[in-house]
Amino acid sequence: MGFFTKLKEGLTKTRKNLVERVESIITGRKIDEKTLEELEEILITSDVGTKATSEIISVLREKAKNGAIYNTESLKDLLKTKMVTILGHPQPIVVNGNKPFVILTVGVNGVGKTTTIGKLANRFRSQGLSVILAAGDTFRAAGIEQLEIWAKRADSQLLKHEKGSDPAAVAFDAVAAAKSKGIDVVIIDTAGRLHTKSNLMEELKKVRRTIEKVMPDAPQETLLVVDATTGQNAVRQAELFNETIGVTGIALTKLDGTAKGGIVFAIKKGLDIPVKLIGVGEGIDDLRDFDPNEFVEALFS
């Protein structure tokens, strides 16, 4: 199965929750103020978010006044175009600059962080890059073991300390080892933490400062892993992690199991943090670069 087909299938619940509801209210109707108000309500209740919704509706309202919307298809075309515009250009993770390229991964418990790291490592290895995974989730023994399994699957090196040791020390050693060995990529795991726990967020700041001591321009990517099924809560997570350590991109997991895929618009418009990766399945190749055109096309297909 091609990725587009998989993405289309993965977005089935979101399509039902968003696109099919939109189609049900605009089909065969005059596009007037009442229709636009109903459309606005659907977008907001489909997790598109108030900022993105407001921008979409104001454009549609203007186009309707100018006679540019004359039937269901013209409205859908304009809606799709505006959605792509909000999401912007694809911003994939590109490994460049000084070695190693360091990716610090963060997120709350249960979002699929370790799995995302493993899949990302596998992708880099398939591109011929060398990878070290750093087991910075020292809070759980299972966290270290899980990363060890992924390191083997992805043919990557693993750097770990004992359970309960200082996560910043793990990060320091991993980046230092990668520098001395000429390794291309370091991906650092961190303990899943509630974004509301200030002491754990402070620990993240310490990890970041420690990485900068070994390599001043690292981490080049701070990747927040977010579970799409959490909807608006994902926006709050992104907001707080961004305030704490500065998030450069988002990996959105479990898109294939949610009706809340509209959250990509809320995150981009509300916080201006690009969604860089999406997960649409359990397979090792089911983590892909996020392409706004492809996403919107799959949503409306």
pLDDT in tens, 53-77: 999 999 999 998 888 887 888 889 9
Q: Under 8 Å CB-to-CB from 67, ≥6 apart: which residues?
A: none
Q: Say yes or no to pLDDT of 255 above 90.
A: no
212 and 64 within one domain? no
Range of the domain at 264: 101-292
pLDDT in tens, 228-246: 888 888 888 899 999 999 9
Burial label for 68, CB within 10 Å (0-12, 13-18, 19+), is middle
177 and 272 within one domain? yes
Residue 265 CA, chain-centre distance (Å), reads: 11
CATH of the domain at 76: 1.20.120.140
Treating both helix axes as pointing N-terminal to C-terminal, what angle do 263-271 and 72-87 enclose, rounded to 10 degrees? 50
Q: How many domains does the chain have?
A: 2
250 and 148 within one domain? yes
37 and 138 within one domain? no
Average pLDDT over residues 83-109: 95
70 and 108 within one domain? no
65 and 117 within one domain? no
CATH of the domain at 229: 3.40.50.300
171 and 134 within one domain? yes
21 and 106 within one domain? no
- Report the pLDDT value the prediction gives residue 229, as an integer from 0 to 100: 86
- Residue 236 in any domain: the answer is yes
Residues counted in the chain: 301
Is 36:53 a contact under the CB 8 Å cutoff? Answer: no
- Residue 94 in any domain: the answer is no
126 and 252 within one domain? yes
- Residue 301 in any domain: the answer is no
- Residue 243 in any domain: the answer is yes
101: enclosing H helix or E strand: strand 101-106
18 and 163 within one domain? no
Q: Could you tell me the pLDDT band of residue 140, with boundaries at 50, 70 and 90?
A: confident
